[in-house]
A and B are shown apart, each in its own frame.
Chain A
Amino acid sequence: MEIPVDGQLSVNCELSPDAEYLDDVVVIAYGTQSARTVTAAVSSVKAEALKDAPNVSFDSMLQGQAAGVQVSTPNAGAGSQAKVLIRGVSSISAGTDPLYIVDGVPISTGVVNASYIEANALSDINPADILSIDVLKDAAATALYGSRAASGVIIITTKQGRKGETKVTYDMNIGVTQPTKLYKMMDAETYYTYKNQAVKNAYGTDERVISGGANPYGNKAFNYMTDSAGNIIRTNWNDLVYKNGLVQNHTVAISGGSDKTQYYISANYSNNDGIIIGDSYKRYGIKANVSSQVNSWLKVGLSAQYSRGDTRVIDSSRGGSVFSAAGLPRVAMIMPPILTPYNEDGSYYVMNGGQYIGVGGISISSLSYPNGMAQKESFNAIVTDRVIASGFAQVEVVKNLFLKTQFGADYMVENEETFWSPIYGQGAGNNGYAWRTMDNALSWTWTNTANYNVAFKNNSFDFLLGMEAYYDSYAYDWINASDILNKAYKGFRAGYVTNDAGGSEGAKSMVSYFARVNYDYKSRYMVSANFRRDGLSALGENNKWGNFWGISAAWRISEEPFFAPARNVVDELKLKASYGVVGNSEIGYYNAQTYYGDAVYGGKAALGLANIGDASLAWESSSKYDVGLNASLFNRINVELDWYYTKTNNLVMAVPQGPSTGIGSLVTNTGAMQNTGVEFTIGADVIRTKNFTWNTNFNITTSHNKVLELAEGVTEIYGESDANITMPGYSVGQLYVYPTGGIDPATGRRIFYGSEGEWTTYDPYSRSWYLADGTEFQGNLAQVRAGNTLPTWFGGWTNSFKYKGFDFNFMLQYSGGNWILNAMTATGSDNRWWNNFAEVAEKSWKQPGDKAKYAFPVYGDNVSNGSAYDISDWIEKGDYLRLKSVSFGYTYKTKTKKNLFNSIRAYVQVQNAFVLTAFTGLDPEITSSYTSQAVLSGGYYKNTLPQARTFTLGVQLTF
């Protein structure tokens, strides 16, 4: 399936086999429309732009591809999902994920409902099956999806067969991944010297047991450990945790058809071995699309796919637990280089049944910490089996009046198994622990539409009337087992002393009615109006129904007679504007209800207050404005410019309550927020000759978020680690830290500013703060707002060069305007037993006059370098420019049918080749928070994996 690259922003796709060749069309809600007459803000990403990438999921491939679409990859965990935002953060507590529609059917998205690790629901869609992705951004485009449209809509169209040609393609790539960056930590000698010095600074001598009793390796606080031959142990924990991964993707597809019936069938296999030990993702999938014109008035179609996703990790911090002590990225950083994870016989170097690293007395006496490597005896696995299927029948009742009924279902069975070995950490606490869940998630959508189009003279109308029913349910069962009977076994099906089981289920449902009319006069003046009414079960009794709508208009100036003289230069010029109101229904199933759940006390049934609900919970509604311009110059340059403004009212917000109220948070409608910005895209066929073409596409988006109002009596909301604050007048999730002023050159202590601006330094000996005159500081230390965490600009620049059969492509991607709290710096310079960055030995204060980055090391001090309190010294800019991908390929086509194949293309590609940034952490794009509070807790960087760099070799064969 070759998609002509024509410099257009939209894609040529063959949705309607009836038509020989269509004008450029964009996919819109419940239909398609000519790109020329579309009045709404829609971006299209063509399959061509997604090719060559080794990604197993399309979400991360959207990065930089379309204006207004912001994609960030939180880390390199195999099978991790990317975060996709369309035109900014649309909500504080309700979901911010766009609605994804695959071939007309909404699918389940987001993090698969798992307990210990997360899996990406979007990775069940094989990117190689995708023909085009259309992103609906403004209200005019999205209003027909009503209450589900506030975060934008992404419509995925999968490949279809074409009549008359039977084509077999084989698409494969195989690659190696590696971490883009790792921290340089202290080696054994530096660690030994530096930590003992810190002990000496604290106690006057380093010949001291810090904790834990006798030490067979010496009488210092930190001693070299030696093996039986007397060699000093030197462990590089990065080498133990990180590895090179292997990625491969294979897709075989057959497509073709007759006049009446077309088909597309494919099968795929993907395997992504991650960059840390025990990390992998596999997918097996099959897919079929069939459509048939049964007779002159009836058309039917069926689209179905089955996939199995298999995500496995051992890293216990995979779910984004920022403080997970045993998370592998953290293990790689903090474990002392003078300790070994293994005994000489290969067994784990552990004591107390695996609870802690070491045997008896160890070379670091104060360490009560698990041996991260023993995690290899544990595992987490999520296997999802998923069917996404839809069928339709369309009847042409009278000419140009189409009635269509479509039923689509998304059914996923997710099996999760977690096993904590009795020789490691928490598993040791339970003497072996297993956790097993099964989740059946079913959603279905039944859509019925009537579509009538009529044209007379220069007027053209298109009417749509529809009704939809939507149902979403889950049934979740769990069993846990603890205290394993036979330590030879690993896994849930071994015998355990106790087994415990339970479950839950839930459902929500929605009924909708909708209508749209598009009108255009001479393809010159266009007007469109949408309306949708939704009733949703999850809302309060009297607020279940909501109305959503959008209107838009466009004027193609280039069609005006007076414009004729300019058409040599400007062959297309369109102005457009839209306004509308859409909603957000990404809220819990039962948030509006107050209810009690079962509990046990003293062997008797108890009822525990499980939720305090707001009985009047209603829609969160977003008013969206858009004004834009499309132009085409010299028939080779396309320009798009859009200004957007979104105001969200009645935010569905989990309003946090002061802890002493005894209520965690209450979900209610309150507050308002706005997002505004400009999107600019320019694409050009810079060179277009027979043998050589250069095609380029540049986009940039600005995005400014501002919270306008929070709940009554709530002037601010804090993020998860209390390192973020959200308050009216500023963008959501501002950093919120203690103000510091570096290291005092005279004393080597960290300078903290009091709430009245007082200059103080922290004394690690007395654990108190002192004023410049040496008296103890009596005032308050208070956190201050310290920077926006949302990028204010982002975009991508793609370039494609072709010379005869050769092609060369590269894509730059950029983002910035945000600030990041690099809390890893605190961890990497902590004055407890944790290993430190190699630079800490040099950059810590030694003598008066030193302009140091880190404080004078005093063993046990967890304040001066920012562990106990997040400090402003560790805030950094998040701007970056990334060479997201660069590829080089060669395509060979044969004209004769004699050859085995019609064309062959081979390429090499590098993903994440490099990143330019002043950020000193592993990657500025990484985020630490996956939780429901992610929006409130942005810009907090701690304990996460780096990104992966991937070198790929790929082949595409067409037979």
Chain B
Amino acid sequence: MSRIEIQKTYKIYIGGQFPRTESGRYYPLKNKKGDVMANICLCSRKDFRNAEVAARGAQAGWGSRAAFNRAQILYRIAEMLEGRKEQFISELILQGSTLAAAKIEVEVSIDRMVYYSGWCDKFQTIFSSVNPVASSHFNFSVPEPTGVVAIIADENTSLLGLVTAIAPVIAGGNTCIVLASESKPLCAVTFAEVLNSSDLPGGVVNILTGNSAELHEHFSNHMDVNAVIYYRNNKAEIKTIKENASLNVKRVFVYNKINISTEKAQSPYFIFDTQEIKTTWHPIENIGTAKAGY
């Protein structure tokens, strides 16, 4: 008699824990033949709010870590992804991908994580400035994380869309709540397991599964979220998100014109989008003929 396989329970990821949705709701994920592969959490507003609390709680600590340390943790995520490559490939195949396409998606995802790991302690140098003011002051501008970012990730990919969305945001010291692809959610949950074993502090990345039509409203009207990033094409949802953003002047970025499988989908400018520029002034003692700063 053959062995009975242990099937995986797919849950969500909030504050470093793997709870089920508080709503108790689920949606069945079916394969091509129409068989149910898994019951996926259909997340609610309350789940989003819980995730936001976790993200806010983690932000100060994550944002004030040494940039080098963030780089090492992102690199560790890439290492863990590499180790679980086969699992991601088989999940992608389960969700309708070919073997070749699945392999490419996983490899690009790993490489992208390494790419952003490298930027963690370099984008500041690119985007900061020493400003030669015309008075005797030292004046400099540096990027700082904007805070908590709510992301509605790409619908068409299971892993690459998530990595593309999450990596630049956390590389810059933000924390986030991400809605994974509704039709291809399997890798999201497995990716959360990768994050959980990569020294990434709980709450830095929170991953929900469910329906954008239901959740985009809550992602954008929460008063303690600083920015919203949207990777999909629904014009009505974009409009609602931008309107709701005005409640507390959230920063909104719609990245639906980029092809996420190409290298154009990665750049330090994606890190820069969720940064605030802070300028600091300090007087310079006016000795001798010194009249200006740098």
A and B are partners in one complex rather than unrelated chains? no
Measuring CB to CB, which residues of chain B are less than 8 angstroms from any residue of chain A?
none
Measuring CB to CB, which residues of chain A are less than 8 angstroms from any residue of chain B?
none
